[in-house]
Every structure is written in structure tokens, then in C-alpha cells.
């Protein structure tokens, strides 16, 4: 989708011009995975006009295969408006996604078997099924096809209260979560959608794994002393074991897409190494993402591994 944001901490009502960026949960994940070195394919539905081509161009720029994009002449590209805040005012979003090209997708428009052939993993999020009943059914069909082919499936819960209610989310996401292998979420989303609370984040992760028979659960954790100074880390539960990693002190430039960047880095580490490495890569690449503007991550594998190796803030010469 297209992101339109104000500059200089202006409220949307104040703005006279808007900055244009490209983003979207699964798109953001695909970009990180590709930039780190995975062969990545992006499936979506876009409008055959300049905005649709703009999105495809941005995705291709990062090395993601766009050959399976479904093009339509009869719907518009979705958009959202972003207003950056400063304490005590939080960032704020207005969505304009109803009846967009992806919201109107139909299950019979996608032949998943040839698309998924040779894949090791399929990733989706709770944002896509929130857009419409047909988008939810298409997501179900994709997950079923991947499972039928023996392909691992990862799901980012990604609850968005401005897209659907808790009850609607629970009805759909409980079903979808029970059919995937890997869940990526936050403690807050877990509570809001599934009603799961515990005395620790580790206990929440184990409760999710037990309830939905998941192989891996990853939970991102953010501490926000202020809007623009955050502490960022994550935990993962797999095989009865809890994994922890480094906590980064971040001077936030733009936190939108940070959870998606974590997912991309986490899946890279999981496919190339193991859960412990996945956690390291996920947190590091998402920390770097938050230091540059826009939804998409511009970090490189060398940059991520240099951060993992030194965590130094000395100038790179």
C-alpha cells in the first residue's frame, strides 16, 4: 500500500504536503528476507496504474520476485496516513483500505501450488484477513496449500484495532493460528486477540505454543521511555526452551515496519541456522530499521552481522 505522512511533526490537519512511501506487512517482511539473502517471492493484488507500478518498482528494487502479482483495472491501491507524534502524543494512523485491490481479492484468483513449488516457508499476517471476508478466505487457502505441500508456515498476528474488532480478529485468527508452524506476535496483541495473559512474557510464549500446537513462538518486546527513545528486544520459545537476546537502545527515526523487519530477520535466521540465531538476526535488523525513515528496511546482511559482532556506535570508515 501507499503511505502518506506529514513532516516536521505536523498534525495531518496542519499539513500542506505529504511524503510518499511504500509499505505493507508482508511486503516489509519480503524486503528484509531478500536483502539478507533469501530468495523471496511476493504475492499480492495491485491496480494497473502508476501507484501499482510504483509499489512493484520498490519491491523489485530490493530483489523480491514480483512475477506473481495479480493486476486489476477495477480497484484502487490501498493507502494509509501517518502522523508522527512526540511525547505525550503518540504516532497516529488513518487507514484507507476498504475496497482496495487486495481487499477485493478472491480465492480463485491465486493458483497456490505452482507459486509455492520449491518454497521452504510461506509467511502471512493478520492484517490481510482483516481487510475483507474474501481476503481472509484467500489467506486460508494459501495456508492450506502450503501445509499440503509440506511447507512451513509463519504468521504474524499483527492485530489492528482500526481494521477489525477483537471479536472478529479472534474468530479468524484462532483458526488460522492453529494451522501454522511459527507465530510472531507481541504480548499486547496476544492479550487483545486471544485473551492470554501470564506472569511473564516467557509464560505467554509457552501458553501460545501449547494452545495452538506451535513449533516456534516469537514475541517482540518494546519499552518506551519516550516516543523517540525505546528499548527493543524479543524472546522465542521452541522445543520447550526459551531463548533471549540482546536489548538495543534505539534512537527511533521511524518505528513503522519494525515488527515486520523482525519477522524477516527471524525467518532468515531460522532458515539458515536455528532459533537462537533467528532471534539475534530478527532483533538486530529490526533495530537498524528503526533508524531510517519509511516502512521498508534498508539494512544489509554485512551491517546486521557487524552490529551483532560489535554493537559499537563508532563511525564506520
Q: Say if strands 216-226 and 229-238 run parallel, antiparallel, or are unpaired.
A: antiparallel
Q: How far is CA 177 from the centre of its chain?
A: 16
Distance CA 281, CA 302 (A): 11
190, 219 in Cβ contact below 8 A?
Answer: yes
Distance CA 253, CA 290 (A): 6
The residue from 189, 254, 260, 295 that is catalytic is: 260
Active site residue 65: no
97, 79 in Cβ contact below 8 A?
Answer: yes
263, 283 in Cβ contact below 8 A?
Answer: no
231, 244 in Cβ contact below 8 A?
Answer: no
106, 138 in Cβ contact below 8 A?
Answer: yes
Distance CA 44, CA 67 (A): 10
For residue 283, what is the enclosing H or E element?
Answer: helix 275-289
284, 300 in Cβ contact below 8 A?
Answer: no
123, 265 in Cβ contact below 8 A?
Answer: no
Question: Burial level of 86, CB count in 10 A (0-12/13-18/19+)?
Answer: exposed
Residues 6 or more apart whose CB falls under 8 angstroms from that of 239 comprise: 275
Catalytic residues: 260
Amino acid at each position: 500500500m501507499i503511505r502518506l505522512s506529514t513532516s516536521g511533526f505536523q498534525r495531518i490537519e496542519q499539513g500542506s504536503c505529504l511524503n510518499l512511501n511504500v509499505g505493507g506487512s508482508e511486503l516489509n517482511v519480503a524486503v528484509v528476507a531478500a536483502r539478507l539473502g533469501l530468495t523471496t517471492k511476493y504475492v499480492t493484488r495491485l491496480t494497473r496504474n502508476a501507484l501499482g507500478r510504483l509499489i512493484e518498482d520498490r519491491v523489485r528494487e530490493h530483489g523480491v520476485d514480483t512475477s506473481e502479482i495479480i493486476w486489476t483495472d477495477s480497484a484502487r491501491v490501498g493507502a494509509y496516513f501517518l502522523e508522527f507524534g512526540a511525547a505525550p502524543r503518540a504516532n497516529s494512523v488513518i487507514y484507507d483500505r476498504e475496497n482496495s485491490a487486495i481487499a477485493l481479492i478472491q480465492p480463485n484468483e491465486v493458483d497456490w501450488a505452482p507459486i509455492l513449488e520449491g518454497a521452504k516457508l510461506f509467511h502471512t499476517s493478520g492484517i490481510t484477513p482483516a481487510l475483507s471476508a474474501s481476503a481472509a478466505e484467500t489467506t486460508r487457502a494459501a495456508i492450506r496449500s502450503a501445509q499440503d505441500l509440506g511447507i512451513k508456515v509463519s504468521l504474524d498476528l499483527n492485530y489492528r484495532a482500526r481494521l477489525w474488532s477483537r471479536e472478529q480478529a479472534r474468530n479468524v485468527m484462532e483458526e488460522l493460528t492453529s494451522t501454522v508452524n511459527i507465530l510472531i506476535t507481541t504480548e499486547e496483541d496476544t492479550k487483545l486477540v486471544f485473551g492470554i495473559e501470564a506472569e511473564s512474557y516467557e509464560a505467554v510464549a509457552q501458553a501460545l505454543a501449547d494452545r495452538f500446537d506451535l513449533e516456534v513462538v516469537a514475541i517482540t518486546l518494546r519499552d518506551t521511555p519516550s516516543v523517540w527513545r525505546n528499548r527493543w528486544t524479543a524472546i522465542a520459545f521452541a522445543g520447550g526452551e526459551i531463548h533471549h537476546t540482546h536489548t538495543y537502545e534505539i534512537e527511533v527515526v521511524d518505528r513503522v515496519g519494525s515488527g515486520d523487519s523482525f519477522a524477516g530477520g527471524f525467518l532468515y535466521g531460522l532458515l539458515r541456522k536455528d532459533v537462537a540465531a533467528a532471534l539475534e538476526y530478527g532483533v538486530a535488523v529490526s533495530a537498524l530499521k528503526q533508524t531510517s525513515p519509511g516502512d521498508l528496511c534498508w539494512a544489509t546482511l554485512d551491517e546486521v552481522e557487524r552490529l551483532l559482532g560489535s554493537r559499537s556506535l563508532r563511525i564506520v570508515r
